[in-house]
Amino acid sequence: MKKLILGGLILVLMSGMAAADEVFAPDPALAAYGTRPLGMGGAFVALADDTNAIFTNPAGLAGLGEWSLTSMSTQLLQKVDYKLIGGTYRLEKGSVGLGYIGTSAPCGYVADDGGILTDEQISFDSAQMYLSYGVNLSDIMYTEEDMGNVSVGTSLKFLSRGFTGIDGATASGMNLDIGCKIELEDSPFSLGAAMKNLGGALNWESGDTENIEGATKFGTAANVLEINDLKKTIPGELIAAFDIELLSGGKPMVFHLGAEYKPIQYLAVRLGLDQDPVSKSESSTNLTAGVGVEYEGFSFDYAFRQNADLQDYSNHSFSISYTPPLPGRYEKAKEDKDEKESTEVAGADEEEKPEEWTTKNKSDKKKKKSPASDMYELPEEYRNIFSY
């Protein structure tokens, strides 16, 4: 109960803060934030279980392993080059993450009333550096009751933007993301929330100041096959996730829906629906899909995202990641199953079989002997006479 109350207070606080935001400059991190999340329609705030947590929900860093790396490349609207790099490292309490998102878009030439002044093309470049930290509350605070898996996290972002080829057309600033994640006890469900761009601004060399577009996400995720023991009939792992996103600046609320199915340890198939605001009252729904291949800690991910309004500008994303391999979930599940079955068989044998049968099947393969048979060797046809 304490866990749910704490999570609720965090979510209410975050939603109240989101309402106070104003929107001026767009944030490229809201459009793309990792190939795996994109394949799942952007529904990732309650899942956040890999390196992409740096960019989606820093609270997810608390549950990561020793260290990890990821990278991503795509083109938005077939014009904007988009690069993402991230890495995490486990501390004694919690994990830290470092991330980078960079975009570059062509935007014409320097000109005046007389025409174009130079053949050098102008581009608008944006860079964001992330310093993130996530920790489980049970690691840093003591309570009489078990807090369970309640994690919080934050990302401090360093921003720079500007136009190449134009003097004084650069800006810099700082911003902040916060997030929380709750894994419900004895349940396949988890809850999450994250707020992007809390109170930071861009300061241009000209003296102008611009606020950054903000967003708040609330979501839930579940390992579907853990519900009613469906994993007994369906192999692998199936994760479903759903996010609601509140955008600043009077834009409509949008949703993100996604699923990831792993029939075997080395393959993941993803589908999703991803909404975008079109105006202050309308949004568009875009289909997403993806596939991931994993082997010995390396993973290659691909995602397709439809642009419902501009079909010719649908985009493809690619990612390469590495996480030091740990004992696989599938292997562990198989070992647990085999151990359980062998225990049940052994128990059934001891209950149903007479004592002499159990003795007979021991590893030393020795037969039960009577006191008389120890004295001297009897012919085979007379040995059982003394066993009664």
Residue 346 has pLDDT above 50, yes or no: yes
Q: What local confidence, expressed as pLDDT, does residue 311 receive?
A: 72
* HEC readout, 115-144: EEEEEEEEEEEEEEEEEEEEEEHHHCCCCC
Half-sphere exposure of 168 (CA within 13 A, CB side): 4
DSSP annotation of 266 reads T
Residue 332 has pLDDT above 60, yes or no: no
Task: List Cβ neighbours of 149 (8 Å cut-off, separation of 6 or more).
Answer: 63, 136, 138, 181, 182, 183, 185
Q: What local confidence, expressed as pLDDT, does residue 33 receive?
A: 82
Q: What local confidence, expressed as pLDDT, does residue 365 receive?
A: 42
DSSP annotation of 212 reads B
Higher-confidence position of 328 and 129: 129
Tens-digit pLDDT profile for residues 218-243 = 999 999 998 887 878 888 999 999 99
Handedness of CA 32, 36, 39, 44 (dihedral sign): negative
Helix (H, G, I), strand (E, B) or coil at 86: strand
Q: What local confidence, expressed as pLDDT, does residue 177 receive?
A: 95
Tens-digit pLDDT profile for residues 12-70 = 444 444 444 454 566 767 777 899 999 999 999 999 999 999 999 999 999 999 999 99
pTM for the whole thing? 0.75
Which residues are 70's β-sheet partners? 86, 321
For domain 2-334, which CATH number applies: 1.20.200.10, 1.10.3720.10, 1.10.3090.10, 2.40.160.60? 2.40.160.60
Helix (H, G, I), strand (E, B) or coil at 233: coil
Distance (Å, rounded) from C-alpha 346 to C-alpha 338?
12
H or E, element range at 163: strand 149-163
89-93, 193-197, 311-315, 370-374: least confident range = 370-374
Model confidence band, residue 307 (pLDDT cutoffs 50, 70, 90): confident
Q: What is the percentage of the chain residues whose pLDDT exceeds 70?
A: 72
Helix (H, G, I), strand (E, B) or coil at 333: helix
